Structure 1
Amino acid sequence: MTTRFGHQSPFQTYVAKVRWVVGSLLTVIVMLAISTVYIAAQAPNEADAVQAFVSDSDTMSAREAYVTVLSAQRRIEIGEELSPTTLVPVSLRTGEVPVDAVRVGSDILQSRRFASRLLHAGDILTYDVLQEHRPPQLFIPDGFRAVTLKADERELVDGYVTPSSRVDVLWRHTDVRGMARVKPVVKFAKVLSVNGKLEQGGRSNVGKQPTTVTLLVTAREAQLLELARSLGTLSLVLLGNGDNGALARDAEYVTAADLFDSDEVSSKEVPFEGVAYTADPANGKALRYVLRGRRWSLDTQF
């Protein structure tokens, strides 16, 4: 069937429409395929990003769960200057850290600071401990007393007992049965001075002649020391820097029975009929006289 020039037949129109529909469908299919490939390629990256975010969050939470603060590396006495040699960093959980704890990196220690109270090894440094000025060298808190004892080189542990040291005071005496006995009279006493010197530095310069050592004790301990000095011999035992006074569980006293068999000790015991104590007028040392067979004699084992 013929048509006029420039006019399409119905068949040609139908073919053109089919071609347009098929082309559109192919275009949509191609675009869907491209989108699928793009989404598939981006999915692992998004998963990695989510995982990285979760990991970063866990790391930040772990970091925030611990705080690094300063603690005492050894025992720090009242008035002692705080320095890097006396402090050590320690990491604690956030809930275990005191509110006023001094954290690592704090600029408060850039200037001189002194301890206002006693710190034991491992104690956390807090701001209330810090003070700008050193307390008086001879600082005696309320309820305490300063007691001076005579001591020789042996009793001063070969000169290693120095100001700010901590010592136990042992009392050696003989009981009424004639048995030697040693008992700690004072424990964990602070040394205030040695031979009148308050500054701490190396070993004490002591010779063969007796010198003096001043201890910080309670009022009751001062009375016990005075009584024990008149009834026996006192000696000092030096404690370690990390000792807080509660580490050792020593016996309250030891006797000769702890060195010998009980049968051997009991066979050597000689009961006294009486005991009398006095002081040597030459050196002030305590002397003991025992009564045996109605005769007084100096106890050389005392």
Structure 2
Amino acid sequence: MKNIRALVMLLVAAVAGLGAVAMASRWLVERSSGMTAKVAVAAVDINLGQRLNPEFIKMIDWPSGSVPPGAFTEAQKLDGRVMKNSVLRGEPILDGKLTPVGTVGGLSAVISEGRRAITVRVNDVIGVAGFALPGNYVDIIVSTQQENASSKGSNKDDSISKIVLEKILVLAVAQEVGRDETKPKVVNAVTLEVTPDQAEKLDLARSVGTLSLVLRNQVDTATLATDGATKFTLLGTQAPVAASAPSAPVHRVRTHYAARPAAPRDCIGVLSGVMGSVECF
């Protein structure tokens, strides 16, 4: 009898314990569900210019109090949108990283308003050994011959290197637009984002000389005016003084002058002893 009573008490205690655990877990789930929200993140690394589809997106729980502004809570709203910036796997997809609704994918979707994309040919040296990657900023140097009217026909010493454009954004290298690569890539072409005026200067610069890219700090916005480097400033010597053109010969004109008659004067005779003379005034 005592054994049966003990078994019943154990059974009741077990049921009560299971009920308490179930209620506690239910309470924790309800409380935690109220503290998190579903946020759309990148399921894989996504490059700029790519069009989103369900394979690129996954929904995860995110603390409700720290949901990033512009985050999406529904994956359907991202279908067909185009990335304006690159995102890494697990990174929230924000509205500020997307192009306007209806934008067609590709490089043209990431060009800023009022700007243009232009491609220049480079090599392993001109392209900063492959470290000029999408998202970096570069300066453009042109090496050419400067016009010098005083040394026509002999401009071998008139070479000049000059920075013509500063803080130019690299949009793509070759056919790749990924901005999150850290390894250098030696390519034969770099696409740059420029204004229309800069596009004209760059097109002229690559036709009159050799271009070089100069990698600059991402946060450096200073613009420095330079005079350019020539052979004489490089070596610290003075430029030769241009020989002046020979002056035209001076033709002397001989002029014949006629003797003018002496002006009439008043004269008197002076007698001194036995000597006489004439004094004129």
TM-score by length of 2: 0.45
TM-score by length of 1: 0.43
